[in-house]
Amino acid sequence: MRLIHNIRILPYTGVNARSFSTSNVNNGSLPLVPLWINGQSTTSSTGGTVIHKHPKTGKETCEVTVAGEQETKEAIEGSKKAFEEWKDVSGWERKGILQNVVKILKDRSDTFTEALRADAPFSDIVIAGDQASSAHLTDGAANTAISLEGTIPQTKDGSFSMVLRQPFGPTLSIPAFNYPLTLALRSIAYPLACGNTVLLRASPLLPQFYQLLNPLFEDAGLPKGVLQTLNFSDKDVPKRVEQMIAHRDVKMVNFTGSVRLGKILAAQCGEYLKPSVMELGGKSVAIVLPSADLKLAANNILFGAFLNSGQVCMSTEQVLVHSDIAEEFEQILKQSAEEPNWGEGMEMIRPGSGRGAKALYDNAVKNGAKVVFESASANSSSSSSSFPSTILSSLSSSTSLSTEESFSPLLTLHTFHSIPSIHDHANSHATGLTSSIFSKDLSEALELAKKIESGAVHINGMTIHDQHNLPHGGWKESGWGRFNGQGAIESFTQTKNVRIANPTMLPLSAIYKGL
């Protein structure tokens, strides 16, 4: 055991997996999900409790303790107090803690899986991919902790200046629900790696999953108070979030989610002059050029469109095809879509998502869209929480689906007669998170990639991709700031110029001469 700044950091040697099933039970038979404030779980709150229901079955799964104004205040104060010590912990110690998180995570994979499935429907491939991705990004964050570097710039007067990178302080992190472990750990690990403390707003869709995060980090060696986890009720969440953004001790905001909510939070950050990282949604396009391997393109596009029922901010939403190969590609895309057994409806996490997808579908078909493929009839198999995987073409520009992110298994096919018209359409969207280009002519693809207004362009690969040494974030209404590597350092630290001046007596009497 080592003692650094009074923080006990133990090398991980195999902590027993904490049980998913909480011992806290309400007067009925439902598990009672706590708040985590200053290293303690608590089920006593001025905010009371709410009942969570599974989006697919509608059954009550747990009772959730929600934070009121007082608990939120206590969490902020505790986060500030913890920051005073955490900011001085060395990058090597922070790295060790985050590496412990990765190790413990492997031991508890079944526990996290059980909690996720208790909260919402997730497929095996999404859970496996999510766990692998979360471990990869957290390991990357561990390396980020020892990569914070300043500079020593030249000065004109011979003084010595150091430009330091230092943490902001308590950070409000609000991750999205759709790739739960990856997005939750990313929103915690990168701020921590850079020396910030974290106030985590738990997703109301996954309460039992989020209660596992504080024990995970505590067992990895994270000091009490460095991570606070708060549940909010739907009716109070606007007040509680603004309470946090407005508080002088909350120094920055980190949000992953929809453009609509991002704009609301960005406006509040502007009002209180708080820096922010906004990783918002997109309308990701996949471009298929005449020289493309059409089977490869079809395969990658379908995977990128329907993975996690289309509930990924990087999901492929539109396919832009050159007219020279449009007819052939449509047939290959349809044949490729018919091969898997998609099932009647793809389950989604947010209640009412099936109805939302159905409304977009109905509006498109009403305005002339052609159904190229659907795994089942949209009229017979869609429900409040599911919708069949569907491909549409001949989409009118007046429909909502042409511009809005569907966040569902809806893919649209568009034909263009020239590369300039393809890139004009790709750039016409208000968002720009990620995109794909399929072409065997890499020179042509690279030239087009430079013109696409998007945070990432993947040549001959699907739109969904993330890794810890590549900056991740959007252009335009897809947000600002970056996760991963140097991008995370720039987002979660601020610069400070420290200058050692040459001792010089200044001519006070000259100040007023000539006035």
Task: Supply the residues annotated as catalytic.
Answer: 279
* 3-state SS assignment for residue 421: helix
**Concatenated DSSP letters for 113-129?**
HHHHHHHS---HHHHHH
Q: Which of 102, 82, 109, 203 is nearest to 145 (CA)?
A: 102
Is residue 43 within 8 Å of 24, Cβ to Cβ?
Answer: yes
Identify the helix (H) or strand (E) that includes residue 328. helix 326-338
CA–CA dist 186, 208 (Å, integer): 19
Burial class (CB in 10 A: 0-12, 13-18, 19+), 180: buried
- Each residue of 294-321: b (16+ CB within 10 Å) or e? beebbbbbbbbbbbbbbbbbbbbbbbbb
Show the tokens assigned to 382. 């869609």
Q: Which DSSP symbol is given to 343? A: -
Residue carrying the six token digits 């902590």: 15
Which residues have CB under 8 Å from 395's CB, separation 6+? 364, 369, 401, 402, 412, 413, 414
Is residue 78 within 8 Å of 58, Cβ to Cβ?
Answer: no
Q: Which of 239, 259, 301, 303 is nearest to 475 (CA)?
A: 259
Is residue 66 within 8 Å of 51, Cβ to Cβ?
Answer: no
Half-sphere exposure in the Cβ direction for 325 (13 Å, CA):
21
Half-sphere exposure in the Cβ direction for 187 (13 Å, CA):
34
CA–CA dist 97, 103 (Å, integer): 10
Identify the helix (H) or strand (E) that includes residue 362. helix 353-366
Is residue 464 within 8 Å of 304, Cβ to Cβ?
Answer: yes
Is residue 385 within 8 Å of 354, Cβ to Cβ?
Answer: yes
Which residues have CB under 8 Å from 277's CB, separation 6+? 252, 253, 254, 255, 473, 479, 480, 481, 482, 483, 491, 492
Is residue 94 within 8 Å of 193, Cβ to Cβ?
Answer: yes
Q: How many CB atoms lie within 10 A of CB 32?
A: 18
Burial class (CB in 10 A: 0-12, 13-18, 19+), 25: middle
Show the tokens assigned to 453. 């207004």
